[in-house]
Structure 1
Amino acid sequence: MTGLRGLVIGLSLGVSAAVAEPVSHALMEFSDLDGWAEDDHAAAIEVFIETCRDFDSPDWDTLCALAADAEDPRAFFELFFKPVMITDGEEGLFTGYYEPELTGARAPDDRFRYPLYSVPAELGEDPWHSRREIEEQKVLEGQGLEIAWVDDPVDLFFLQIQGSGRIRLPDGDVIRVGYGGANKRPYNSVGAELVDRGIYEPHEVSADVIRSWVQDNPEDGQELLWTNESYVFFREVSQVPAHLGPLGAMNRPITAGRSVAVDPAHVPLGAPVWIEKDGRNPMRRLMVAQDTGAAIKGAQRADIFYGTGAEAGRVAGAIRDPGRMIVLLPIQRAYAMLPETLE
């Protein structure tokens, strides 16, 4: 479900200008994990099994086979894994993301005027047309790349940020779309743009505030959206059953409340991760790293999947909380990450 998630409310998360600290690894005990004994480990192991089959290494393959027959899920994790705290000098930060549901149609009309495009054949590794050029100059019109048309340009904008979603058609059918590619243009936060212009204070900006401002100021709102040159293309994934979550970075459905997007430079995709999120609604839960996002960078940076639809979007958009994330790794793999002097 690759996209620009973690920027749901449109505000840039920022990158420290200081020199990055070296990445460090510290072994922990399960007794060090706050709330570990109280979690639903059976729910976590089901999510783990969903993607562990895609590992291509003997140690993970063995654990995947054992997980399928585990009678005591908590004992399974405690017996075969070691908690590892991976840090890079940055404080832990949790945000949330979701799968939007938009209203649309297979053919355009006076209501449904804003197209979702599949990936153009000429899209390569170099920067391509900007958002303004694609929408204002209609550079893709007539190529048959339209998957569907929707009725709200702001909803389409946020769909691109999330990277996947559902389009509900007038007859009740649903099209599911996933991330297909991007134009390689720079991402500019429209929320930060509103703050820079003095229209809102940082704490006032949310997805709903951005949507309302664009609707109340149609011309200026369109110009605001065009300040973000980045543009996302989609692929249809309607073969994914409606009761399952959208496809994550491992091309498997993700699970609300149990799947998390991480930086794969630090956390292996498919690995269990223990989340200790603070804030208004604290969370202590075993999840699985099954997704990525363009804004999810760093050893202690994570984006929690909250589900599908408007309510999930409201919850996800309010999450920007401190905490820590501990990765569960196969025991020998965990010890191998330690410096030689500490082995």
Structure 2
Amino acid sequence: MRIAIVNDMVMAVESLRRTIAKIPDYDVAWVAYDGAEAVTKCAVDTPDLILMDVLMPNMDGVEATKHIMKQSPCAIMMVTASVNRYAGQVFEAMSYGALDAINTPIEGSTGLLKKISTIAKLIDKSPRSRIVNKSHNLPLLIAIGASTGGPQALVTVLSQFPQDFPAAIVIVQHLDAQFTPNFATWLNEQTPLSVEIASPGSCPQAGKILLAGTNHHLVLRPNLTLEYEQESADCCYHPSIDVLFKSIVKHWTGKGIGILLTGMGRDGAQGLKMMRDAGWHTITQDSKTSVVYGMPKAAAELNAAVEILALEAIASACTRFLSTGQS
């Protein structure tokens, strides 16, 4: 996270520098000693966050905040000797878009770091997201949806992957949440890969299988972590394959494979089509090997599948794509 400091007091600048340096993932982008300088520097190099002093010569922090939020908006936290004493200026700055305010920190204070951490999560610049949100560092992601007949189909596919398989796997299997822990344990015994129930904040990782574990929808957030969310009752599938697939298309910046296995209904078909349209390699199970040819058929009707394969051929297709990047 790149943080700029705007303060006319040298001692305050150094105190803020030392505080920021305590977190390895935080860097000082630049320093300005009055509001006018901050406006100019921000236009050239917009940081993730500005620690903005309230009272400064030439242009104070309130006016600087007003200009920055119009010209090159970013997160701004007001820093002042006394938030209470200068409450009027602080609230005026917030009316222009400042997110928060804090008293100038003393050495060893943790209050500023806590507030920065909160803002980092708000703008998706937490240390974790900073690490994973680089496309060239992301593993191949395999997203799988399954319903009726899915447990055994999943075993057939996953058991063919080696223990050092360098792809991340996320699965939605239509199953009531009360059965998911036992299903995860059983699935873990059937495949060389590690199987876990996805928890809020989990990150897709190479060699690990993350399984949707509640009746709420599993989604990928902009910081590439998984979370659960409730959707309207109009969605009859809980968790929904479509909801997961669509969130992955929106936020995953690396390569991926979408797979839709046996199941009743149409869940996952639209999401798989979005994946294909976005350049993902997409696979559906064929009618002959599906217990219920519902979801794969719906996807085929939408032309969502690059490949329609027998169940036993899906793992090798994934391995081939992983090694060559081609179908």
User: Is TM-score (shorter-chain normalized) higher than 0.5?
Assistant: no
Structure in which a larger fraction of residues adopt helix: 2
TM-score, scaled to structure 1:
0.23
Give the structure, 1 or 2, with the largest relative contact order (CA under 8 Å, sep 6 or more).
1
TM-score, scaled to structure 2:
0.24
